[in-house]
Structure 1
Amino acid sequence: MLCKRRGLSNIVTAAILLSAVALMGTGLVSWSQSNLTERQANLNTSFQNNINKLKESVILEYVWFSSSPKFTNMTITNIGTNSLNIVDVEFRNPDTQQTLHEETISDGQLSPSESYSYQTSDNVFDHTPYSSFTAVITTERGSIISTQVTTP
């Protein structure tokens, strides 16, 4: 006895397969689009931060040392086109790179062409004549500006 089996026709199975492939394809495209958008936003942020970092330009000028009472004064001028925020001032021994004095700055916001006068709050390094120091300024974006200064 022959038994007739009824199955799905080729057209119905093809339609089911096409629908499944279309749904998976749509999900994959939407996932990749959101992933691409997120990566593009991260790349754009990173690019802008690096460009702003390149536009930061500071000059350290008018460094002078007082012997009584002992302190050091320095004028920091923003000669760049962007505002910046100075977060750290440090004096180092130029030979050993040992930190002689370091201070975190809380009010170091500088607009373009604006100056900031910094004075050491405590003087732990010696002002002997012809002593050299490396003055290092760090900005909020991570730029490090340094210059060498010598006592008179």
Structure 2
Amino acid sequence: MIRTLTLLAVFVLTLGLAACEEEPTATGPQNHRAGLPPKGPDYTGDLCAVVRNRAPFTITGRIELKNNNRATFRLARNETTRLCLNGTTFGNYTVTLVVTNFVTMPIFSCYTTVDEAIEIFARPNGDGFTYSATCR
């Protein structure tokens, strides 16, 4: 009985994953992970960031601070959100922008400031997409 339930659960989970919308794959030189944080002054306190999705599909991601505080987002095409959090920025008052796939694996990241809106783009590139953002 337990084995039958286990097999049934595996089948249902597999079927559920197969029915999910296919996630674009990341390719190309723009899909990079953030290197070392910039040097310069940091800031500790409240801050807010505006994030805009300019990709032709829904994206997920997060904004991270130096002390590992983070705010996550899921944005439909052309949607905008405002994320607020408290903590310490990286050098030159920057935060980390991380774009993730549907299982939250990072596919793009960069350091950026929050003094202007952060726009995220995805352009077709062969069999996948090239991600970029307004990273400053």
Q: TM-score, normalised by structure 1?
A: 0.37
Q: TM-score, normalised by structure 2?
A: 0.40
Which structure: larger Rg?
1
- Write 1 or 2 for the structure with the bigger share of helix: 1
